[in-house]
Amino acid sequence: MAAVSTTSSLPRHVAIIMDGNGRWARKRHLPRQAGHVAGVATVREVVRTATDVGLSNLTLYAFSSENWKRPQTEVGALMGLFRLYFRNDLAEMVERGVRVRVIGNRSRVADDIRQMIEEMEKKTVANTGLNLTFAFDYGGQEEIVAAARELARAAKESRLDPETITPELFATRLFTSGLPEPDLVIRTSGERRLSNFLLWQSAYAELLFVDTLWPDFTPALFLEAMGQFANRERRFGSLPEAVA
């Protein structure tokens, strides 16, 4: 099993597509909501592990913009779990020095959830430990279109010369502005796709697909995933030094 040996071998930013709650429940002949409850417990353990090892940035795909298409009962149950998480885990976040950020479209969520998000961000904004980002009502394509629209509006109003638009400038208009791009993107459950998650930001990320369902993704597996990252060679389009 690969393991993380030192803080210096950690990726700067890990992003996780937390997949498999429904299948976990189905295998146990339980309602899908039971899988989501188990998934929240895994979130808690993974965040604790991230803080324990000194990871700088962790982004979790909590709810996609496409998830609204799920049955209303399931969406309602998910929103209830988000409420419980935001309410029950805030004190621990503050204690552990975690800075919480939520990216996505907040206009579609209930007012009380939006207020909880704002409260959690406000109460943790001065923390200097793990930067924990939840992608909540998030879609990568929607994010890119919103950034392009903002730049187009600025150009139309003569506040921006289109010739000055660079990838770096474009990135400042994304929800993740200020965060480093993910070094490692993990997806659980055996599916091998990004599902509209951090499409722009993951251009050079290492991708790791694991068969484990999210509720079974233990801290040991999380550490193993980061250990695998430490053993990969990242070239960003260049050749290895020995070949170059």
111 is catalytic: no
Q: How far apart are CA 36 and CA 41, in angstroms?
A: 9
**Strand bridging mode 131-138 / 184-187:** unpaired
CA 108 to chain centre: 19
Nearest to 210 by CA among 73, 26, 80, 17: 17
Number of H helices, E strands in the chain: 8, 6
Residue listed under structure tokens 């695998």: 228
67 is catalytic: yes
Q: What is the DSSP letter of 180?
A: P
Buried b (16+ CB within 10 A) or exposed e, 115-149: ebbeebeeebeebebbbbbbbbbbbbebbeeebee
* Catalytic residue of the set 21, 67, 127, 196: 67
Q: How far apart are CA 212 and CA 189, in angstroms?
A: 5
Q: How far apart are CA 73 and CA 33, in angstroms?
A: 9
Q: Which residues are catalytic?
A: 19, 67
